[in-house]
Amino acid sequence: MSSRSSNPGGASRVRRRALLGTAVLLVLVALAGLAAYLTREGRDRSKHPASHAGSTSPSSSAASPSGSPSPSARAHALPVPPNTHDPIVFGKAAAAALWSYDTRAYSQHQLLASLHRWLTTETKYADSASVDAVVPSPVLWKEMAANGQFATATVNEAHFPDSFTQALQANPGTITQAYVYAVTVSGKQSIAWKGSHAGGAESRVTTLAVQCRPSRPCALAGVMPSVAP
């Protein structure tokens, strides 16, 4: 049975995920490739619709997914992508952005919209669903906001996975197809909430797909479903 015509949106997401996976498996990455990223050019940022699976929850006096942040919380800025041609530098910044949030300062919708601006404008490689999956759902966000929960991130290390390097060494020309690099980042996420700023901390590790074309700064392609060592 075919679902091609009944769910075009789902098919499009599957196609983008397949293209992203194919690009990453093909290009992997070599350290010598970084020297090619010296040309500077402004990058347009696209705003993708911020959608996240989950039912609508009742309104909360503490915070709302569509509400405005309180004046006292405005100092906590939303994450802004760095202007860099180095996949490692971008990967570290992206991981820190994905592991951080502040329910006191902005809404879940605003955080999603901000993270979507990190994505590449090449829609066939931009996997927004993989980014949405690491952000708490609207329902969970409301519960966390009621407790003033926030998280900060510390990045310890980032590198190109061995499998990436080996694949590119076997076929160096593949990088020029999509300029998608895999970057594995490790670090720590510290979580705190109202009345307990000590909170707790957990180790984090993720593999990101980062697009760094020579003509423009790096952008996020997506979060890989598994970690590449």
**Per-residue model confidence as pLDDT tens for the chain (229 residues):** 444 444 555 556 666 665 565 555 544 433 333 323 222 233 333 333 333 333 222 222 333 333 333 333 344 689 999 999 999 999 999 999 999 999 999 999 999 999 999 999 999 999 999 999 999 999 999 999 999 999 999 999 999 999 999 988 998 888 988 999 999 999 999 999 988 766 788 999 999 999 999 999 999 999 999 999 9
pLDDT at residue 209 in the model: 97
pLDDT at residue 9 in the model: 55
Q: Are 92 and 86 in contact (CB under 8 A)?
A: no
Burial-class residue 171 by CB neighbours within 10 Å (0-12, 13-18, 19+): exposed
Q: Where are the beta strands (DSSP E) in 19-149?
A: 101-102
Q: Report the run of H or E that residue 17 belongs to, with start and end.
A: helix 8-27
pLDDT at residue 13 in the model: 62
pLDDT at residue 18 in the model: 56
| Torsion sign over Cα 134, 156, 45, 181 | negative
Find the Cα–Cα–Cα–Cα dihedral 222, 56, 106, 44, rounded to 10°: 40
pLDDT at residue 195 in the model: 82
pLDDT at residue 174 in the model: 87
pLDDT at residue 61 in the model: 30
| Amino acid, res. 174 | T
Q: Report the run of H or E that residue 114 belongs to, with start and end.
A: helix 108-116
- First-to-last C-alpha distance (Å) of the chain: 37
Q: Which two tokens stand for residue 183?
A: 């970057």
Query: pTM above the 0.75 mark?
Result: no
How far apart, in whole angstroms, are the C-alpha atoms of residue 209 and residue 180?
A: 6
Give the residue among 28, 53, 3, 9 at the shortest CA–CA distance from 209.
28
pLDDT at residue 10 in the model: 56
